[in-house]
Amino acid sequence: MTTEVDRTSRDKKDVRRLDRVIIRFAGDSGDGMQLTGDRFTSETASLGNDLSTLPNFPAEIRAPAGTLPGVSSFQVHFADHDILTPGDAPNVLVAMNPAALKANVPDLPPGAEIIVNTDEFNSRALAKVGYAGNPLEDGSLDAYHVHPVPLTTLTVEALKPFDLTRKEAGRSKNMFALGLLSWMYHRPTENTEAFLRAKFARRPEIAEANITAFRAGWNFGETTEDFAVSYEVAPAASAFPAGTYRNISGNLSLAYGLIAASVRADLPLFLGSYPITPASDVLHELSRHKNFGVRTFQAEDEIAGIGAALGASFGGSLGVTTTSGPGVALKSEAIGLAVSLELPLLIIDIQRGGPSTGLPTKTEQADLLQAMFGRNGEAPVPIVAPATPAECFDAALDAARIALTYRTPVFLLSDGYLANGSEPWRVPEVDELPDLRVQFATGPNVTLPDGGQAFHPYLRDPATLARPWAIPGTPGLEHRIGGIEKQDGTGNISYDPANHDHMVRTRQAKVDGVTVPDVVVDDPSGPPGEGARVLVLGWGSTYGPITAAVRRIRREGGRIAQTHLRNLNPFPANLGEVLRAYDKVLLPEMNLGQLALLLRAKYLVDVQSLTQVTGLPFKAEQLASAFKEALDDDH
Amino acid sequence: MTTEAPAVPGTRTALALVPTADTPQTAKDFKSDQEVRWCPGCGDYAVLAAVQGFLPELGLAKENIVFISGIGCSSRFPYYLNTYGMHSIHGRAPTIATGLAASRRDLSVWVVTGDGDALSIGGNHLIHALRRNVNLKILLFNNRIYGLTKGQYSPTSETGKITKSTPMGSLDTPFNPVSVALGAEASFVARAVDSDRKQLTSVLRAAAEHHGSALVEIYQNCNIFNDGAFEVLKDKKQAEEAVIRLEHGKPIRFGAPLPVEEGGDGLGSKGVVRDPATGDLRVVDVAKEGTEGVLVHDAHAASPTTAFALSRLADPHTLHHTPVGVFRDVSRPTYEDQMAEQLERAVEQRGKGDLAALLAGNDTWTVAG
């Protein structure tokens, strides 16, 4: 049954070269579409294509089978050149049932290929999603190239030698589909087989059944007339600088960035966290790396998560808490305490759709103002925001740099799109990473009028305004800190009006003084003021679609400048000057214009918002039209 | 950072990893330079004096002692002790202390809290710290009133309490902190009274020596908003009938002693027995019913059932039959020892973390320059 076929012999069939392909796998949330997409992505990464992925799944773990709300999908875009987004419209849709077909067909361009599991197209399943007839027979899909494949039947047939029920065997249909797609796109198969053996190491018969289904899918493509053509997408070698690469998702690269920060700071990492979508994977990942001295504490609630992290920071750990928007709301008071205590702390917010519970599995950028202002009193907190999944690694290191250097809580704003999306990442050398080592206070820092020595916990470094970090266990530096206003220097409780005014301004000045790199404008037509007249500015995960749209405009001869903010508090020092150098500044955001509000307030520049809050990322095409309109108006 | 001795869960004593002081200490060593600002006559003064007087006994390096508090009158406590300290936010002290204790086993970590802080806004954190058995010593100052906000009823106030916020009487049934702690799987639970320095000190000592989380409820008089709340336990004459002093291994007897000269055994005239029909505890007159059925206090009993039944003896209104002393003191592995053990096991199994190997992973490809 598991006879090897010669996977290099394709002489009977036509092989075509493509520069890029977008595939979307769609099925019930129990059909294993995320796993299928992940495996296809890994095969694609190991081939050296550039890629970008977009998982899209319902918040319900197992929504009712066969319904539209239960559809889970995974889109992967891969190319022989540098790409930036998971793509607007799939070239290929794999639909495991009528619901998956119905939910996804509107996104397909004419001529797209559709592979459907015909076994699921019975009258009951069709009726469940409101199909009056069978779309496979009524001509409604004539604009597409449809491959009807009885995926379940073929999988069950292939797994006959195994002692499995029809239902059990049918579960491997996703691996059959993966095998078929792997054949169509010449993907290497060894890693998937190794992966299945490792995943089901305790149940070898299940591993073998899945591998058999996978190979049967591959063979089906090879031997069936319906699949006359297969496609090659060459590696994207020229798109990447030399180096070692791997595929990485935003949450994984973020977790690695936190571990790297701990290693480079020579401080133990302590994560206090409460499970919440889409941040839980960071907790899961960090809990697997205890051999790095990483302590993960699954707390009783969001408040306890940040409280424990802050307690660990007081004791000399790199304290981190991970959450999403609703969790940030609960942590607000503790963030204010961290501002007052002036201790390092990382608050990682993987944003999702809001308000309230909102859209837990969908993406949004609507926590910016919450991060900026969501506390009582004047409580400034630096904010960093990665632009791509791979950049989450660098953002974690930068957030740690700011927290450790300035003794302050720092927000890192990722989002659901970055968290679950993936792309190739050049694996850095450890020596290239920033040195984050800190000096704990070791002795007295002040001489009293009587000649005695004392330790003042709020005596600041004049350059950074950071206070000393004196950890318990250090003799002679016993001191008390708290959330009540303190006298600058001594740290003693103080209700003195002038001191409070001074402390509020000092905490603000400390955050305003955080060193961040200048923004760099990308404009082939010239430097700010001399090239394009329209600037597109973005922050966070809109980087991919904005950049793809900017490229389209330029390909068509349009002149447009682009820049992207990684530091949102404080802003880069040259930002005002850059904004004022253009006639028009466009700002796409997945909110109702939160960064635009901040920029207008701070720089008095008439920034134009382009907003979308669908829970999905912008499409490049849609942004390109909006940019084009703005350019045309400008003439 | 301090290197830690290898952990064997459940086998070390409470303070084994905490460095000791080089020279003998006195109460003065633990006084900070800050002026104490509680209301004159507040019970907090007595507790502060007891703690400052008792800490030198432990002989620990004072830089390795940390007091963490929440919000409320009692939560000003850390400012008055010359150790490391943090005055945090309302109800959250156990969370901060948990993070600190879990990451620093070389510290002796104490939480100072009140009935509102620990049982209202911070109730969730208290029960979870106790069930995890984090090595924290939690001093819960119970004055049965909100003092800092000027006199509203608290979660331990008796039902019907007339206060500013309850002019017609409070409606809530009060929490019994000892019952709550026992229900939350606490491994050490005790009660003391602020004015009884000797008994308070002995309970603090037992708590300090306990390896794991310890909850000590301290009845503390608020002479401004709830004066005399515990008078029945303090007035010598009334206390004889009201207070039940628990001592491990001793029969649970209280009340006026039965005179030896009259054929008595010199112990209290009342005893606590188990009702065979219901399993509940009740108080009996020993002279009438004999000493046979009187319970012998076993603080180390594996089951918390009897300790819980003891905690229910007191009448929440009159405080009659209030046990004080150590209700429960049992040994089970602490959260941070087990956490440290997992970290060590991970290193044994997979070697110390190698960042370069982690970042590269198993599925890489190379782009040549």
**A216, pLDDT greater than 60:** yes
- Provide the pLDDT for residue A530: 92
Q: Does B82 touch chain A (CB under 8 A)?
A: yes
In chain A, CATH 3.40.50.920 sits at: 534-634
**B9, pLDDT greater than 70:** no
- Provide the pLDDT for residue A633: 83
Contact B99 A483 (CB under 8 A): no
- Provide the pLDDT for residue A5: 41
**B298, pLDDT greater than 70:** yes
**B7, pLDDT greater than 60:** no
Contact A482 B346 (CB under 8 A): no
- Provide the pLDDT for residue B366: 85
CB A20 within 8 A of CB A233: yes
Q: What number of C-beta contacts closer than 8 Å exist between A and B? A: 212
Contact B103 A472 (CB under 8 A): no
Residue B71's closest chain A neighbor by CA?
A483
- Provide the pLDDT for residue B28: 96
pLDDT digits (tens, 9 = 90+) for B46-66: 999 999 999 999 999 999 999
Contact A244 B346 (CB under 8 A): no
- Which residues in chain B have Cβ-Cβ distances shorter than 8 Å to A474? 63
Contact A475 B63 (CB under 8 A): yes
Q: Does B2 touch chain A (CB under 8 A)?
A: yes
| Average pLDDT value over all residues in chain B | 94
- Among A252, A290, A318, most B C-beta atoms within 10 A, so best to mutate, is A290
Contact A259 B85 (CB under 8 A): no
Residue B33's closest chain A neighbor by CA?
A492
- Which residues in chain B have Cβ-Cβ distances shorter than 8 Å to A478? 62-63, 82-85
pTM of the predicted protein model = 0.93
Question: Which amino acid, one-letter code, is at A127?
Answer: A
- Provide the pLDDT for residue A453: 95
Confidence class for position A2, pLDDT limits 50, 70, 90: very low
- Which residues in chain A have Cβ-Cβ distances shorter than 8 Å to B213? none
- Provide the pLDDT for residue B363: 79
Q: Does B245 touch chain A (CB under 8 A)?
A: no
Residue A253's closest chain B neighbor by CA?
B359
- Which residues in chain A have Cβ-Cβ distances shorter than 8 Å to B97? 311
Comparing CB atoms, the residue among A311, A334, A493 nearest residue B100 is A311
CA angle B328, B331, B337 (to 5 degrees): 135
CB A346 within 8 A of CB A410: yes
Residue B353's closest chain A neighbor by CA?
A292
Question: Which amino acid, one-letter code, is at A406?
Answer: Y
- Provide the pLDDT for residue A377: 98
Please give the backbone phi and psi of residue A490, each rounded to the nearest 5 degrees, phi first. -70, -30
Rounded CA separation B281/B308 (Å): 10
Contact A290 B355 (CB under 8 A): no
| Both structure tokens of B176 | 């019994």
Q: What is the mean pLDDT of residues A213-240?
A: 91
Contact B353 A292 (CB under 8 A): yes
- In chain B, the largest separation of any two C-alpha atoms, in whole Å, equals 104
- Among A258, A286, A291, most B C-beta atoms within 10 A, so best to mutate, is A291
Where do the domains of chain B lie, and which CATH numbers do they carry? Answer: 27-242+301-343 (3.40.50.970), 251-296 (no CATH)
CA proximity to A8, closest of A189, A177, A195, A225: A189
Number of Cα atoms under 13 Å in the Cβ half of residue A345: 33
| Average pLDDT value over all residues in chain A | 95
Q: Which of A1-15, A540-554, B30-44, B187-201 has the lowest mean pLDDT?
A: A1-15
- Among A480, A485, A486, A493, most B C-beta atoms within 10 A, so best to mutate, is A480
Q: What is the mean pLDDT of residues A494-518?
A: 98
Contact A301 B124 (CB under 8 A): yes
pLDDT digits (tens, 9 = 90+) for A21-74: 999 999 998 899 999 999 999 999 988 899 999 998 888 877 888 999 999 999
In chain A, CATH 3.40.920.10 sits at: 14-236
Comparing CB atoms, the residue among B99, B101, B107 nearest residue A473 is B107
| Both structure tokens of B332 | 């089970």
Q: What is the ipTM of this complex?
A: 0.95
Q: Does B342 touch chain A (CB under 8 A)?
A: yes
- Provide the pLDDT for residue A100: 97
* B positions 101-120 inside 8 Å of A (CB): 101-104, 106-107
CATH code, residues A246-427: 3.40.50.970
Record: fold of A534-634? Rossmann fold (3.40.50)
* B positions 265-304 inside 8 Å of A (CB): none
- Which residues in chain A have Cβ-Cβ distances shorter than 8 Å to B86? 314, 341, 480-482
CB A295 within 8 A of CB B100: no
- Which residues in chain B have Cβ-Cβ distances shorter than 8 Å to A444? none
- Provide the pLDDT for residue A11: 52
Residue reference for tokens 């639909």: A95
Rounded CA separation A258/A264 (Å): 10
**A347, pLDDT greater than 80:** yes
What are the CA-CA distances from residue A341 to residues A344, A467, A534, B1 (Å)?
A: 9, 10, 43, 21
- Provide the pLDDT for residue A57: 86
Residue A309's closest chain B neighbor by CA?
B99
- Provide the pLDDT for residue B368: 81
Q: What is the mean pLDDT of residues B175-191?
A: 98
Confidence class for position A546, pLDDT limits 50, 70, 90: very high
Q: What is the mean pLDDT of residues A436-444?
A: 97
Q: Please state, for a pLDDT cut of 70, what percent of chain B lies above it.
A: 96
No. of H helices and E strands in chain B? 12, 12
Beta strand pairing call for A383-384 and A422-426: unpaired
In chain A, CATH 3.40.50.970 sits at: 246-427
Regarding the domain with residue range A14-236, which homologous superfamily does it belong to in the CATH classification? Answer: Pyruvate-ferredoxin oxidoreductase, PFOR, domain III (3.40.920.10)
CA proximity to A474, closest of B173, B334, B62: B62
Rounded CA separation A257/A236 (Å): 26
